A and B are shown apart, each in its own frame.
Chain A
């Protein structure tokens, strides 16, 4: 064994407290990274398998074609097409598929809403059919008086086979006997969704499907050539329909879910990397301090013949050992984290089917890169400094410290500027689109953190003196000691505070962004929209058109319009069209009309935002050729040009939309306004009464809507804080180790203070408040940096979305309170250590 390896190994073992802390930080980071990957991979694999399984028996599917790829619901097709398909040679089963809104009602007639998912009504032919629904108990429903429901809801609500229940659909309220409970493979629910299954004929009537279904699933006879059958079916299909293979359908469904899983996984991964970044800070700081403490030891090594390179290699080997260990622990921990998260989602009602744990080679490689990478990167500077320690420092340590000085200020300033420039470039120039934006802005922010961390040492002394002032007034001698101890090592203070600074900066930056978003929303609601009510849906399916029709019939309401949508292509580019009731819209919204009219918007007429109007060089009376997703082509005439993009850039009337597509319309939301002179209390009562039969409709007044937006923003901040929990925990740990190392260095000094009469309690206090000063300093720097980043980010967002800059003082206060608590937590161990020193031994320490 080489000397470097021996010493590295022994050092890892001898300084076990430090070793454990570093191991924890890296292991936590690696676990987070691995957990993000494993979770996403496992979910992907599970769902992909599931969709394959579900469509196993489906060889072909007939459905409405789309002119271009679109997330919009496809138009429904005539159920009678199934009959003609059955006449094609080789077709064994042709099963119409129908899925609409349906919701179960409890004994009081109130809607039962599942915790995490939507509510569906489906047609189901039972076991003989092609749908991969698994019967858990009983049998499939037949006839209008029967239904099956998912087992999860049955269990939660205490429904059993044979019970009679009511359910609500777009066509009204119905009653039926539960003939069976169903699930999806091993799971009791359908990804957390509530399910009402009816036989096809009943479903067509009870769902108000008007003889139309979503698709027709087909299985071919044993031995029949699927491709040949596909061709034969294609030949008899009406226009605007297509026949595709079951695999394609499974793939499309899986792709949709994968897209969501990818976003989710990437989000987790970003926070995992933030955690790793914070860990690197802590590890760097700990190594930096211990190298100071090991100065004489390292100089001695140099004196007895170790080269500078060997010293550097020794420190690096120590880091390598820690990195490798942490990677191993992290991979194991990450699998645990992923499984724990899946378990938690499940417990929250997500209804995942049995998930397999997928650990890809890529995950292990990234884990090693992160685990070993951050430790090695963290020791580059400390190990170089260690190598510079001259041998003579073994006898004269003061010469060693002089040799280790680095030019931190200049480097810090340069790094800070580079970080800001990258951040600006990312946000405003966006090289390479969104990925470029994220890469530049993200890396820029990280570089900025690095720069600020080293720059902040210049302000550490004055700022901590100010923070410490009230503490000194309050706690006299211990307070004064705390204040002076912080101020005398500004670099160490700023390094250990920096880890906390990063987390705080991310939270406060988001806070600025979110507050500005909210302020802009208020602005829009106040200036552009004069609605009294905003009706959104509580599920995820959009509102039934019946909701807006019902509201329109309420006499107290002067104007009601739903906001619907469809996608279309103009000059080959995809555009989202909004559809509204023009007369009501005119009364409810001030779209900053520049030319033309809103209220008179007629059939095949278009309201156009000024930007696309400019691009198309369109004016009143110009025509625009549009191909909609279902293949319908229309020529729309521009009837007005407006300037406020709150409702999108392309608006048509509901009548035009109805002509274009028969797809079951789901409204994003509905806005409504009381008539002149109507008492708001009476209006509220009338609207509530009208919405009684629509549990999925969430009626909010303007103010309530704002409150709910605010609640969402706070929720977002909470989620971000939770995702930063690891990073914040590691930062607290970092302050704790730094402090413990400081206490160790000051052993003799503390012994002297104790000898001349400071009691244990005062000793503990001085350490405790030292920690609070450091953590508060970190939080302050974080708030400054975060607010700066948040302001830039907010300014970079187009005015359409965010038009105002706003700050949230409550969050800043909350962060500062949190910082004090973090400091108190960090001080628990070091203050205990300081107060429990043996006074005599402490004084005897050299």
Chain B
């Protein structure tokens, strides 16, 4: 799994790309049982934009996200965040990168159950032994609008509230990029819309970069750009998508 990236000289990351992959391949199993989760993906995501990755189950979209985020490693090829190739980093540096430059929002189980909402938000800074930008954090916390529920544990919050805390945590350390893995997958449509607006506002107002995996056309329509993945490859992309455009694209697959 720790094979170095392909010697194919990757292009110098463009100044506008916050993250990307170059000929990324990820293979599970050996011989006949080989599965190519990623089969030569080259893609980049712009700074200050809200990008969505779409695809059916098993298309490799989640694997792509995990590898982009440094949570998982490629078989060959390369991924980068900013001007850093992830394969060049050891576990320590990768951890540091996740803590300082990357934010995460998962579908579920986003929060440490024994910590309060507020402690969860401050967790990445605390792990780094820093207090963070206090004004900024206060601002983020205020924007989340949890009020007195900040002192509650995740189990005492609704699903929507939990996801807001997760978004706030991702924003709090002002990461270069936030990766979101089906952030609204467990929510009803109204609550989901709230979270998505919240994320889009973070991009518009603070210039935050967000890359989101989703299979929901409505969620994808909040993005500035949608990249479609199928069978481990990039199949297509559209910018400033509407829900109908996305649905049309998905239909064309079948």
Contacts and interface: CB of A to CB of B under 8 A. Distances in A.
How many residues of B sit at the interface, in one of the four size bands? 20 to 34
A303 B92 contact: no
A58 to B, nearest CB: 68
A301 B124 CA distance: 9
Given A394-B106, A395-B181, A7 B95 contact: no
B91 A305 contact: no
A308 B91 contact: yes
B66 A395 contact: yes
Interface in B157-178: 169
A305 B100 contact: yes
B98 A391 contact: yes
Interface in A299-353: 300-308, 310
A11 B126 contact: no
Contacts of A392: 66, 71-72
B118 to A, nearest CB: 12
Interface string B99-121: 11000101111111111000100
B113 A297 contact: yes
A810 interface: no
Interface of B: 62, 66, 71-72, 91-92, 95-96, 98-100, 104, 106-115, 119, 123-124, 126-129, 169, 181
Given A305-B127, A308-B95, A7 B106 contact: no
B114 A14 contact: yes
B98 A304 contact: yes
Nearest to A301: B112
18 contacts: A3-B126, A3-B129, A6-B126, A13-B114, A14-B113, A15-B114, A297-B113, A300-B112, A304-B104, A305-B95, A305-B128, A306-B95, A307-B91, A307-B127, A391-B71, A391-B98, A392-B71, A395-B71
A401 to B, nearest CB: 16
A161 to B, nearest CB: 71
A379 B99 CA distance: 26
Given A10-B114, A306-B127, A392-B66, 12 more contacts: A2-B126, A13-B114, A15-B114, A300-B110, A301-B127, A303-B71, A304-B104, A304-B123, A304-B127, A305-B96, A392-B72, A395-B62
Contacts of A394: 71, 106, 109
Nearest to A9: B114
B98 A7 contact: no
Nearest to A391: B71
A151 interface: no
A391 B106 CA distance: 12
Contacts of A304: 98-99, 104, 123-124, 127, 169
Given A304-B124, A391-B98, A394-B106, A7 B115 contact: yes
B115 A310 contact: no
Interface string A376-401: 00000000000000111011000000
Interface string A751-763: 0000000000000
A3 B114 contact: no
Contacts of A297: 109, 112-114
Contacts of A6: 115, 119, 126
Contacts of A10: 114-115
A305 B99 contact: yes
A307 B112 contact: no
A390 B72 CA distance: 8
Nearest to B65: A395
Contacts of B91: 307-308
A303 B98 contact: yes
